[in-house]
C-alpha cells in the first residue's frame, strides 16, 4: 500500500512546469545574455562545454548535516536510496548539471541493483565513483576501526577493510560505476601512537590488495586529508602521500583532491596543476571552508580561489587534450547545517558552473605571452578580467538549452518542492549518512 502511494506521490518536475517558469523571465534573460555573450569569444563553444559538464551529487548530502553538538533536520529528507535518487533527479531537472550520483557504502546499499539502475536512468542519472567507509564501525561489525583500518597493526582488521572495499567494487559493478574513492580516516591522535613507516606500509599493502580486485576499466581514487578525526598524524595526509600510494599502485590509481582537506592557505591550484602534469589527478570534491573541513557551500567563502583552481584544471586538462566532463570525477562533498540541502546543492552547482565558465573565457594566448615576458601586471589583469566578467547569463543560457531552469532556486521555491517532499515523506524523516 505504502509503496504504491509513494509511487503516485513521487515528486517530479515536469518539462512544461519548468518551461512555464522560464517564460516568466525569458525576455529579461535574453537581454542579459545578449550583453554577456558580446563580451566573450565563441559563446556557443563555452555553452556547449557548460552543458556537457556534470557534477555528481553524493548520496549523503541530501539530508541535513550536523555538528558534534547537534543536528537540526528540516523535514522531508529522503528515507531510502530510491528517495535520494528522486532528490537528485529534481536537482538535475532544475539545473541540467547534476546528472550523476555517488554512493557511500554501507550508508546506501542498493538492494536491487537493476531496479536502482533503472530508476536512476529514468531521472537521467549515472553512477559516479563508489565510496567505501572504514572510518566508522557498523552494527554487527566483527573488528573495530578505532585504531585505523588499512593501517591497523592487526592483519585481521586490515583484511576486513580490504574485503569491504572489494565488496563496494562489487556493488559498483552492478550499477555501472567505474571508480572507487577511498578516504581513510587512519592516522594517530598522539605522538608515539603509530610507527609512521609501518602505518604507511600496511596501508599500501592493503590498497594493493584492493587494486588487484579492481576491474581493468576502473580507477581507484586515494583521497587525502591533513586532519580530522585524527589530529596528530594522518596516514594519507597530503597530496604527496597520496601520490606516493597512487604511484606505487599503478596506472589505474589516482589522487583525489577535496578542497577542504588542506592545511590553511595551501596553494590548491598549484597542487592540481602538478597532479595533472603527472597524469595522477583522478577526482575532485568541491566544497568551501573558512576554518578547516567545513564542507560549506561551494564558492561561499573563497570564490576567487575556486576560479584559480578551475583555471589550472582547464589549462592542465587542455594541455593533455582531456575531456573536461569525463576524464576526471567531479563531485560535491558538502554538508548543510542551516540550509535546505537541495537549495544548498543548487547554490554549489551554480558556483561551480560560474567558476568553470570564467576559466573557459580566460585569454590563454595573452596569458602565455604575459608569462613569457614576465609581465606580472598583465597576467593578473587577464585572470581578473575573466573573473570579473558576469557569466551568470551564459550559465543560465546553458541550462535553458539543456531544458532546465533559467533560475533553479526560484523554480524550486515557486513549485514548493520542499513542501511537497515533506508531504510525501513527513516532517521527521531522516536520511542515512553522517
Contact positions vs Mn ion (CB under 5 A)? 258, 285, 293, 333
- Residue 260: CB minimum distance to ligand RM4, A: 7
340 binds ligand RM4 (CB under 6 A): no
Distance between terminal CA atoms of the chain?
Answer: 30
Using the minimum distance from each CB to Mn ion, give the nearer residue, 284 or 310.
284
- Residue 149: CB minimum distance to ligand RM4, A: 14
Nearest partner of 324 among 356, 289, 293, judged by Cα: 356
Using the minimum distance from each CB to Mn ion, give the nearer residue, 68 or 111.
68
Query: In this structure, how many other beta carbons lie within 10 angstroms of the beta carbon of residue 64?
Result: 21
Please name every residue paired with 255 in a beta bridge, in sequence order, or none if there are none. 222, 281
- Residue 49: CB minimum distance to ligand RM4, A: 26
- Residue 434 touches which member of ligand RM4, Mn ion, none, C-beta under 5-8 Å by kind: ligand RM4
333 binds ligand RM4 (CB under 6 A): yes
Which cell numbers in the block locate residue 258?
A: 577535496
84 binds ligand RM4 (CB under 6 A): no
- Residue 164 touches which member of Mn ion, ligand RM4, none, C-beta under 5-8 Å by kind: none
- DSSP annotation string for 136-161: SPPTT-SS--TT-STT-SSHHHHHHH
293 binds ligand RM4 (CB under 6 A): yes
Using the minimum distance from each CB to ligand RM4, give the nearer residue, 236 or 406.
236
CA dihedral 328, 332, 333, 339 (to 10 degrees): 180
Query: In this structure, how many other beta carbons lie within 10 angstroms of the beta carbon of residue 338?
Result: 9
Which cell numbers in the block locate residue 17?
A: 512546469
Query: In this structure, how many other beta carbons lie within 10 angstroms of the beta carbon of residue 290?
Result: 9
- Residue 258: CB minimum distance to ligand RM4, A: 5
The whole-angstrom separation of Cα 245 and Cα 256 is 12
Which of 77, 87, 128, 223 is the binder for ligand RM4 (CB under 6 A)?
Answer: 223
The whole-angstrom separation of Cα 35 and Cα 51 is 20
State the angle between helix axes of 341-360 and 81-95 in degrees (0 to 180), rounded to the nearest 10. Answer: 40
Which cell numbers in the block locate residue 303?
A: 570564490
238 binds ligand RM4 (CB under 6 A): no
59 binds ligand RM4 (CB under 6 A): no
Q: How many residues bind ligand RM4 (CB under 6 A)?
A: 9
86 binds ligand RM4 (CB under 6 A): no
128 binds ligand RM4 (CB under 6 A): no
CB of 394 closer than 8 Å to CB of 50: yes
288 binds ligand RM4 (CB under 6 A): no
Which residues here bind ligand RM4, judged by CB under 6 A?
Answer: 131, 183, 223, 225, 258, 285, 293, 333, 434
Amino acid at each position: 500500500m505504502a509503496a504504491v502511494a509513494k509511487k503516485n506521490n513521487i515528486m517530479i518536475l515536469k518539462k512544461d512546469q519548468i518551461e512555464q517558469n522560464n517564460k516568466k523571465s525569458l525576455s529579461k534573460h535574453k537581454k542579459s545574455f545578449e550583453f554577456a555573450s558580446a563580451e566573450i569569444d565563441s559563446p556557443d563553444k563555452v555553452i556547449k562545454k557548460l552543458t556537457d559538464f556534470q557534477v555528481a551529487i553524493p548520496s549523503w548530502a541530501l539530508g541535513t548535516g550536523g555538528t558534534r553538538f547537534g543536528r537540526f533536520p528540516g523535514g522531508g529528507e529522503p528515507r531510502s536510496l530510491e528517495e535520494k535518487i528522486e532528490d537528485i533527479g529534481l536537482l538535475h531537472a532544475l539545473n541540467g548539471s547534476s546528472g550523476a550520483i555517488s554512493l557511500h557504502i554501507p550508508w546506501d546499499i542498493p538492494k536491487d541493483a537493476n531496479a536502482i539502475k533503472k530508476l536512476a536512468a529514468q531521472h537521467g542519472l549515472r553512477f559516479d565513483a563508489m565510496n567505501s567507509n572504514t572510518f566508522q564501525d557498523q552494527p554487527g561489525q566483527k573488528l573495530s576501526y578505532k585504531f585505523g583500518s588499512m593501517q591497523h597493526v592487526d592483519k585481521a582488521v586490515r583484511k576486513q577493510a580490504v574485503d569491504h572495499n572489494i565488496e563496494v567494487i562489487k556493488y559498483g559493478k552492478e550499477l555501472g560505476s567505474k571508480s572507487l574513492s577511498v578516504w581513510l580516516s587512519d592516522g594517530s591522535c598522539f605522538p608515539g601512537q603509530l610507527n609512521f613507516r609501518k602505518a604507511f606500509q600496511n596501508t599500501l599493502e592493503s590498497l594493493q590488495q584492493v587494486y588487484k580486485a579492481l576491474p581493468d576499466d576502473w580507477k581507484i581514487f586515494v583521497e587525502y586529508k591533513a586532519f580530522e578525526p585524527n589530529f596528530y598524524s594522518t596516514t594519507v595526509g597530503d597530496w604527496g602521500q597520496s601520490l606516493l600510494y597512487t604511484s606505487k599502485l599503478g596506472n589505474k590509481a589516482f589522487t583525489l583532491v577535496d578542497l577542504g582537506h588542506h592545511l590553511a592557505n595551501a596553494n590548491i591550484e598549484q597542487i592540481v596543476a602538478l597532479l595533472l602534469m603527472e597524469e595522477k589527478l583522478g577526482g575532485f570534491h568541491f566544497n568551501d571552508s573558512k576554518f578547516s573541513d567545513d564542507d560549506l557551500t561551494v564558492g561561499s567563502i573563497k570564490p576567487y580561489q575556486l576560479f584559480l583552481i578551475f583555471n589550472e584544471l582547464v589549462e592542465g586538462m587542455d594541455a593533455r587534450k582531456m575531456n573536461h566532463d569525463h576524464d576526471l570525477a567531479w563531485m560535491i562533498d558538502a554538508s548543510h547545517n542551516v540550509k535546505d540541502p537541495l537549495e544548498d546543492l543548487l547554490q554549489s552547482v551554480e558556483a561551480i558552473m560560474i567558476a568553470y565558465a570564467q576559466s573557459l573565457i580566460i585569454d590563454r594566448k595573452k596569458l602565455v605571452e604575459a608569462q613569457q615576458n614576465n609581465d606580472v601586471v598583465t597576467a593578473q589583469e587577464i585572470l581578473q578580467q575573466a573573473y570579473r566578467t558576469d557569466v551568470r547569463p551564459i550559465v543560465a543560457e546553458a541550462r535553458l538549452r539543456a531544458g532546465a531552469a533559467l533560475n533553479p532556486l526560484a523554480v524550486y521555491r515557486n513549485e514548493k518542492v520542499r513542501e511537497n517532499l515533506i508531504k510525501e515523506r513527513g516532517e521527521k524523516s531522516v536520511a542515512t549518512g553522517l
